[in-house]
Amino acid sequence: MKIIADNTVPYLKGILEPVADVSYLDSGDFTAANVREADALIVRSIDKCTRELLEGSRVRLITTATIGYDHIDTRYCDEAGIVWKNAPGCNAASVGQYVLSSLISVALRKGEDLRGKTIGIVGVGHVGSIVAAHCETMGMRVLRNDPPRAEKEGGKGFVSLDTIAREADIVTLHVPLTKEGRFATYHLADREFFDKLERKPWFVNSCRGAVHDTHALLQARRDGKISELIIDCWENEPDIHPDVLALASVATPHIAGFSADGKANGTRACLENIERFFGIKIEKMKEVMPPAPANPEIDLDAFVERRVEKAILHSFHPEDIDSRLRATPDRFEWFRAHYDHPREYPAYRVVHATPQERSLLEKLGFNLSAANAR
């Protein structure tokens, strides 16, 4: 069996070699000639799996180490009998961590508290549900908007976009990018949506760039319809709009889902898809494990105030990657390919927590040391 894999899929090298002939390619080397003899492709969102790439090949399976799959021409694959699989939920916790840290970063800069703010979550699937849980843990009021779920489950617990536009202090997007159908999300956040915003909310996009209309977003930011902009996903990336970069409070190169844990989850999902499709056993899958963080212990006594918020920022703080992107935005893809993937909350042990701090941090997923509790 021959497998072609993107060479930036983490923790993969050496895992499949006992059962397959594996070649690792740069994204730019995913060409029709190079994949023609492959039985399976392991890809990331940057690898465009189009008719032009696949036609005439012997590819039978495409498995992507990502939640999103808009880089795969699913219609052509279905017509050609090529099975495609994504990795739903693999980086949901990572995006939740990114959103919470980014909100805390802005709140601390403004001297504000997240507690008591109302956040409108557009899309309450794997990611949106984790964001909702984190925000409720931090004492925020959560509004949930998810028309497909509301139609399936009933409207209780969900609100309209108009309600979010009217009541939310923060709006965050967590939907897939779809251009067709009743629930299409392309340019969901358009001029009409931004014009309805009443509370000058913070606006967060960490799902897909084209879910917002860039020109409408810029106008809304300039007009003060939104007061803070946290943006990880950009229209037309990697060619990001310089005015959006300049006006953003937090700007990152599509790395919200790039925790080491999320990457390992995505890689394992690809391997599991290969196991099921080809009926084989990948014995080395258990070796797909991220390294321990450089500083796994968080001592709350090191912080004078906002101890919980600073513990969260210890696990991930957007300021470093933000400053590097602003300095050299043309290196957008380089930053993605060479990102130092952070670990998620369970990789950290917190000491010297009060009972109240302990309860909150445990809900988020941190490990708490009983021996060093207050």
Tell me the average pLDDT across 156-172.
Answer: 97
pLDDT tens readout for residues 244-292: 999 999 999 999 999 999 999 999 999 999 999 999 999 999 999 999 9
* Structural domain harbouring 344: 297-368
Q: pLDDT at position 45, please?
A: 87
The tokens describing 149, both together, are 């779920």
Q: Is position 146 within any domain?
A: yes
**What domain count does the chain have?**
3
Q: pLDDT at position 371, please?
A: 59
Look at strands 141-145 and 228-231 and give their pairing: unpaired
Residue 215: which pLDDT band, with cuts at 50, 70 and 90?
A: very high
Same domain? For 81 and 137 the reply is no
- % of the chain residues with pLDDT over 90: 94
Q: pLDDT at position 313, please?
A: 98
Same domain? For 123 and 234 the reply is yes
Same domain? For 122 and 70 the reply is no
CB 211 within 8 A of CB 175: yes
pLDDT tens readout for residues 308-322: 999 999 999 999 999
Work out the mean pLDDT of the chain and round it to a whole number. 96
Residue 372: which pLDDT band, with cuts at 50, 70 and 90?
A: low
Same domain? For 97 and 215 the reply is yes
pLDDT tens readout for residues 217-232: 999 999 999 999 999 9
pLDDT surpasses 70 at 297: yes
Same domain? For 246 and 269 the reply is no
pLDDT surpasses 80 at 43: yes
Residue 67: which pLDDT band, with cuts at 50, 70 and 90?
A: confident
Q: Is position 14 within any domain?
A: yes
Residue 374: which pLDDT band, with cuts at 50, 70 and 90?
A: low
Same domain? For 195 and 71 the reply is no
Same domain? For 334 and 353 the reply is yes
Q: Is position 373 within any domain?
A: no
Q: What span, in angstroms and rounded, lies between the C-alpha atoms of 368 and 374?
A: 11
pLDDT surpasses 70 at 162: yes
CB 49 within 8 A of CB 75: no
Q: Chain centroid to CA 315: how far? A: 16
Tell me the average pLDDT across 329-355.
Answer: 95
Tell me the average pLDDT across 45-72.
Answer: 94
Q: pLDDT at position 373, please?
A: 58
Same domain? For 101 and 215 the reply is yes
pLDDT surpasses 90 at 304: yes
Q: Chain centroid to CA 291: how far? A: 20
Q: How many beta carbons lie within 10 A of that of residue 24, not counting itself?
A: 15
Instruction: Report pTM.
Output: 0.89
How far are the Cα atoms of 68, 93, 190 from residue 85, in angstroms, in the given order? 10, 20, 30
Q: What is the CATH number of the domain that holds 318?
A: 3.30.1370
| Residues designated as active site | 208, 237, 254
Same domain? For 151 and 104 the reply is yes
Q: pLDDT at position 105, please?
A: 98
How far are the Cα atoms of 20, 34, 47, 183, 271 from residue 29, in angstroms, in the given order? 20, 7, 9, 35, 22
